[in-house]
Structures are given as structure tokens and as C-alpha cells.
Structure 1
Amino acid sequence: MKLNFPGPSARGLAVNALALFAAVIVAACGDPGGSAAPPPAAKAALSVELVAPTQVEWPAVLAANGNVVAWQEAVIGAEVANYRIAEVRVQVGDHVRRGDVLARIASETVASELAEAVASAAEAEAAAAEAAGNAERARELRAKGFYSAQLHAQYQSAERMAAARLAAARARQQAAGLKMDKTVVRAPDDGVISARRATVGSLTQNGEELFRLIRGGRLEWRAEMPSADLLRVPVGVPATLSGPNGATVTGKVRAVAPSVDAQTRNGLIYVDLPATDAVRAGMFARGEFELARSPALTLPQTAVV
């Protein structure tokens, strides 16, 4: 038996060709914004600005570290021992003037000693006046021949002894007066109270510290410097310190240590500081010494890429 399979007709082939052609046309004529890739972004142009160098006086500096300390610190104590402190008038940080009262010591016992000394001096003065009168009469009577030489000498000796006792009594009175004055502890100089150990009710002792005073409120920076750089810093050059809060303090070199430490080979440079609240005694500070200035051409930092 012979089987016949129908083949594709000419009409079907034409329809398929037209459909394929229409699809190609639609794809070519579609919206270019929906499927086309965006164009590459243009690169920004680098702007260039010309800057002329400026000539300035450029400082040559030398950096150092060190501690801020008191220029001179006076230790104040009581000059009378075994007496009770009755009053304390100052606190740490107070500014005082020379002669201001810092503390008072109970003076009742000292006052009685002074009164006794005054009475003894008055008694000795009366005795000396009496002895002087007796010696004067003895001289007059001796001139008239009524007194012997021996009796006259006794009156003269009594006068001198009375005068000596009067001088001793007056010296004791003066000592009692000085002791009375020392019951008031006073500031020996202008300055700032940096420490206080005096408390009301405690007994004073010889050599015991009651207060510490920074004389004049003056501070100094003791910069530690290697021996190789020590001689490069002359007296009088300015120094700028940076405080813990970022504030700067400008001082001046007062002295350079004449010797260096044998272990570290470092020496100290003493810088006087002005009165300021930026630094306090005991702080560690960094600073720079301005050794010299020389002309130099400079550019702003923004000109360096």
C-alpha cells in the first residue's frame, strides 16, 4: 500500500515569512528609551588656580617637654610650740597679701606671760629709780665727808645692779611681746596658698608645716632638653606652651641649668610664665622655643595636592 503525506503548501510558507518579517520590523521600530543602555557620564574637568608664593619670616623652633612648677614656694609654720590653733582664715587657692592673717593661735597663756613680764619690768624700773636716788645722795654726802669710801662704793654698786635687773626685765617683756605677736600667723609675701595643713584645735609643733605659699603667684616651666640642644637655647628667647585645654601660654627663658643629669644626659631650661589660668603647678606641658626667624616662601595648605 502506498501512503501519501501532505507537504507544506505555498500559502503556509508565505504566511510564516510575513510573520517573521513583521517581528523584525517591530523590534527595530520599538521605544529606544526602554531597552537602550544609558550613555556614559562625562568626566568632571579639573580646575586649576594659580597661587603666588608669599615671603614671610619663618620661625626656627625647638620642641621640649617639662613640668610646670612654682617659682618659689614658701613653707609657713608656727613660731610658738604646744599652743592650740584657734582660727584658720584661708583656704587652698586664696590670694593673699604680705602681712595678711592666715591663722590665729590661742593667746590666753601668752597674754598672761606678757602681763607678768610687764609687771616685772615695772618693779625693776622702780627699784632702779630708788637705787639711782640713793647713789646720788651718797655722792653728795661723800663730797661733804659724811660717807666713807666703802659705803659710797656700795651705793654705786647697788645702782648698777638695779639698772642691770631693769634691762633684763625689759628684755623679758620684749620677748613676751614678740611671743604674743607670733600667735598670729601671717603671710610672709604676696602669693597664692598652694597647701594647707592647719586645722582648728590642733597643737602647733616646732618645724611643723601649716601652709605653703607660691610667692607672687609666679610659675615657671622647667623644660627638659638633651645636652646636645641645651646650648642652642639662650637666655631671653620666647617659649610657647600648650596647656591641657589647648590654650597657649608664652613665656621667656630665665636661666639655663649649668649642669646636666649624669644618668639621662638631659638638662633643664627655666622659663618664667605670666599669671594665667591656662596652666597650674604640677602640670606636664609641651612647648617650643623660638630660636630665630628667617625669610621663607610659603604656600597655603590647599595648594598642595
Structure 2
Amino acid sequence: MFALLAGLTLTAAMVRADSADKKTVGSKPVLTVRMIQPKSMEWAQTIAANGNVLPWQESSIGTELGGLRLTQLNAAIGDRVKKGQVLARYNDATIQAEVAQAKAALAETEAALGEAQQNANRVRQLGNTGAMSEQQKTEAFTKEMMAKARVQSAKAQVASAQVRLSQTRIVAPDDGVISARSASLGAVSQPGQELFRLVRQARLEWQAEVTAAESNRIKAGQTVSLLLPTGKTVQGTVRNIAPTIDMKTRNVLVYVDLKTAADPLAEAKPGMFAKGQIAIGQTRALALPGSAILLRDGFANVFVLQADHKVKQVRVKLGRQADGMMEVEGLAPNTSVVASGAGFLADGDVVRVVK
């Protein structure tokens, strides 16, 4: 914060004339100065926080099949993929045979159903003519119902085989970036085995840690400025605040959506530790240019104009800084302050004021 005053600290070190010389000067002005008044400005209120950059959501992509050999790999770490894109394929010859067998069984049951329906229809046409016994009627209707059930079962077998066939193709569940790949060409699958990890939609978030007191001042939608280890600055927006406090750190997590470039992972990387500022609002405060502030004996001071054109050294407290202006506390809004050259003045000096 005091970098803005570096030039002035040099002038503060200049040796003034001794007391005998000052007495000879008397009431003559020692410096011609311009006076200013503190400016009322809108200052952004921020909360400083630290945290990790992580994927918004990371999907684990695996297989549900076992005993099949991986024959094709179409994605590598860092690849951007689209939803439904084929990432890998397993040998599907066995599953293709199962599908063909299930379809053949379905055709057989459908033929049997056709025959059973014809027999049942003849029974219905005869009705109550007495040409068939009740037992024969019941038997014909039962065979028709059983044939229908066998067709439904065969259709289910075909659908099951087709599902297994589709599982030999490993597809991306969403748009994103491949962040890890454990699949190996030629490896035999195991049910539940992870093959890829996907950063969904290539979205990143910053998980900032704040105190419980600070969390009450943070709301969804507030803007965030994040300084990455690379020196780049990334903007973000508060998405959510955790409803619980971590029992170990006593801190609250704040989830911030990062607004990055077309290739987010080119700017930020999951796992980065970063510092940021969460903007929680604005307040009005008095400010002075850095040229009006003097560092002396480790404190910030200004010279204010009093009666008879004399100046008085007043200690102030510095706050935020922006665009060459520094927030000051300890001054009234209508105070006349020496605009520059404070390093050449001492308490009680007489000055000549110019507009």
C-alpha cells in the first residue's frame, strides 16, 4: 500500500535548516503550495480469501461389462469431447452373436403365437355350438396367452442383448475435457472399471475458505477477482455458500464459478492454489492523492492549513488505494490539505497558497 509513496519518503529524509535559521526566516513563507480537500469516493468492499481451483464436476467413465477385450481407444488426456462421442470400443463379436440368437428366438415365439391365435380364433367362431368341449376351449385360450407371454419374454431378451451391445461402445456423457485415462488397449474389461475421467463442460470453480463471520456477508451472484499462480487474473461469480462449517478449520467454503477463456484449462488448472477478492459491496470514503501523503517515522501524515497560512502535521490512517488515490481516515471532509511537497514542510511552517 505504501509503494505509492516511495518518492515522497526520499524527500522526507532531507535535512532542514537548523533552528537558528528558522528564527531568522520568521513569518516568511517557506514554500508555495496548492491546497486540496479530501475527495469522497465509492470504494469497493472486498473479502480476501484463499482456496483451490477444482473442476465444477468430474465424471467417472467406465464399463459395465466384464470379460471383453478393449480394441479401440479414441480419446487421450486433454482432448475436448462432445456428448455421445465414442471414446473407446470393446470387441463385440460375442454380444453380436447374442443379439442374433435373441432375435431368432423372438421370431420363433412370434410364429408360435400366430398359430395359437389362429386356433383360439376358430374356437371363438364356433362359440357355443357344442362342437368343442369347455376343456378344449380353455386349452386353446391358455396356449394363446402363453404364446403372447413367450413373445414378450423374447422381446426383452433382444432388448437386453442390444443394451449389452451398446455398452461395448464407451461414450462421453457430456461435453468436456478428458482429465485422466486409465484404459489400456487390449486390456480385458472388469465390471465397474474406470476408463476415463471427464471435466464436465470444461467448467472450473474456485473453492474459497472464509471465516464464519465473513460468510454472512457473502451472497450468490457477487463478483470475484482471482489471482492465479501464473500471474493472470480471472473473474468469477459466487455460485453457492456451503451450509456447514468445517469442524477442523472452522471455515466455510464458498463456491465460485470461474469465467475463463474458450479453453479454460489453458489459464487455470485443477489443483491450483489461488488468492482472490470477493466484492461484497461499496462504501463511500474520503481519499487523497498519494502526493499529499508523507511517510514519517513509520506513520502516514498530511499537512493541513490553519490560520495565518500556517500548516499543521496531522497523522492519518491509510486504507484502500485505486487509480492513484488512497483512502484516509482522521480528516474532516472540508479540511484543506497540502497537495504536494509535504516532505519539505514541518509542523508550524508558513506557506504561500496558490490556486
Give the distance between the partners of 2:40 and 2:66, measured in 1 at CA: 69
User: For residues 228 and 33 of structure 2, what CA distance do their matches in structure 1 show?
Assistant: 38
- Taking only the aligned residue pairs, the percentage that are identical comes to 43
Q: Which amino acid aligns with 2:274?
A: A
> CA 1:92/1:133 → structure 2, altered by over 3 Å: closer, same or farther?
same
Alignment partner for residue 113 of structure 1, among 91, 94, 98?
A: 98
| Deviation for aligned residue 1:299 | 4.2
Q: Which residue of 2 aligns with 1:285?
A: 274
Q: Tell me which residue corresponds to 1:100.
A: 85
Tell me if structure 2 keeps the 8 A contact 1:55–1:295: yes
Letter of the structure 2 residue corresponding to residue 290 of structure 1: A
Secondary structure of 1:99's aligned partner: coil
Counterparts of 1:68 and 1:303, CA distance in 2: 41
1:199 Cα deviation from its structure 2 partner: 1.3
**Number of the residue aligned with 2:227:** 242
Out of 277, 280, 283, the position equivalent to 1:294 is 283
Aligned with 1:124: secondary structure? helix
SS at match of 1:269: strand
Gap change, CA 1:216 and 1:144, over 3 Å in 2? same
Please show how residues 84-99 of structure 1 align to structure 2 within 5 Å: 84-99=69-84
Counterpart code for 1:156? F
Instruction: Give the Cα–Cα distance (whole angstroms) in 1 for the partners of residues 147 and 32 of structure 2.
Output: 107
Specify which structure has the higher proportion of helix: 1
SS at match of 2:267: coil
- Alignment correspondent of 2:216: 231
Larger Rg: 1
Task: Report the 3-state secondary structure (helix = DSSP H, G, I; strand = E; otherwise coil) of the residue aligned with 1:120.
Answer: helix
Tell me by how many angstroms 1:194 deviates: 1.2
Work out the CA distance in 2 between the residues paired with 1:254 and 1:177. 41
Matched with 1:254 is 239
Superposition pairs for residues 53-68 of structure 1, below 5 Å? 55-68=40-53
Question: Aligned in 2, Cα 1:181/1:140: closer, same or farther, shift over 3 Å?
Answer: same
State the 1:169 CA deviation: 0.8
Q: CA–CA distance in 2 between the matches of 1:51 and 1:103?
A: 75
Q: Unaligned stretches of 5+ in structure 1?
A: 1-42
Say which of 232, 242, 258 aligns to 1:273: 258
Report if aligned partners of 1:142, 1:148 keep a CA contact under 8 Å in 2: no
SS of the aligned residue for 1:293 comes to strand
Q: Which secondary structure does the structure 2 equivalent of 1:244 belong to?
A: coil
Q: In structure 1, what is the Cα distance between the partners aligned to 2:74 and 2:31?
A: 71
Q: 1:160 Cα deviation (Å)?
A: 1.2
Q: Which residue of 1 is the match for residue 177 of structure 2? A: 192
Cα distance change, pair 50–281 in 1 and its aligned pair in 2 (3 A): farther
Q: Indicate the larger mover: 189-198 or 293-302.
A: 293-302
Distance 1:57 1:102 in 2: 53
Cα gap change, 1:48 to 1:217, in 2 (>3 Å):
farther
Paired residue for 1:175?
A: 160
CA distance in 1, matches of 2:200, 2:116: 53
Deviation digits for residues 235-264 of structure 1 (CA, Å, limit 9, x no counterpart): 221111001111101111111111111222
Task: Please state how far the C-alpha of 1:143 moved relative to its aligned partner.
Answer: 4.2
Deviation at 1:126, TM superposition (A): 0.6
Corresponding residue SS for 1:220: strand
- Tell me the secondary structure at the aligned position of residue 110 of structure 2: helix
Partners of 2:201 and 2:116 in 1: CA distance: 55
Counterpart of 1:256, as a letter, is: I
How far 1:51 moved relative to its partner? 8.1
Q: Structure 2 stretches of 5 or more lacking a match?
A: 1-14, 16-29, 295-355
CA distance in 2, matches of 1:117, 1:287: 60
Q: 8 Å contact 1:87–1:104 — kept in the other structure?
A: yes
Structure 1 residues 23-38: aligned runs within 5 Å: none
Contact 1:70 1:220 in 2 (8 A): yes
Of Structure 1 and Structure 2, the greater strand share is in: 2
Equivalent position to 2:192, from 189, 207, 232: 207
Question: Which stretch shifts more, 145-154 or 88-97?
Answer: 145-154
Number of residue-to-residue matches in the alignment:
261
Tell me what 1:133 maps to: 118
Partners of 1:193 and 1:211 within 8 A in 2? yes
Match of 2:203 in 1: 218
When the two structures are superposed, what TM-score results if normalisation uses the length of structure 1?
0.79
Q: Which moved more, 1:49-58 or 1:285-294?
A: 49-58
Question: How far is 1:268 from its partner?
Answer: 0.7
Compute the displacement of 1:304 (Å).
Answer: 4.3
Counterpart Cα distance in 2 of 1:111 and 1:229 = 60
Contact 1:248 1:278 in 2 (8 A): no
Shift of 1:302: 5.2
**What displacement does 1:48 show?**
7.9
Shift of 1:300: 4.4
Give secondary structure in 2 for the equivalent of 1:246.
coil
The whole-number CA distance in structure 2 between the counterparts of 1:227 and 1:149 is 82
Q: Tell me, what secondary structure is at the counterpart of 1:294?
A: strand
Given the superposition, is the C-alpha separation of residues 207 and 163 from structure 1 closer, same or farther in structure 2, using an over 3 Å criterion? same
Task: Write the letter of the residue equivalent to 1:105.
Answer: Y
Moved more, 246-255 or 136-145: 136-145
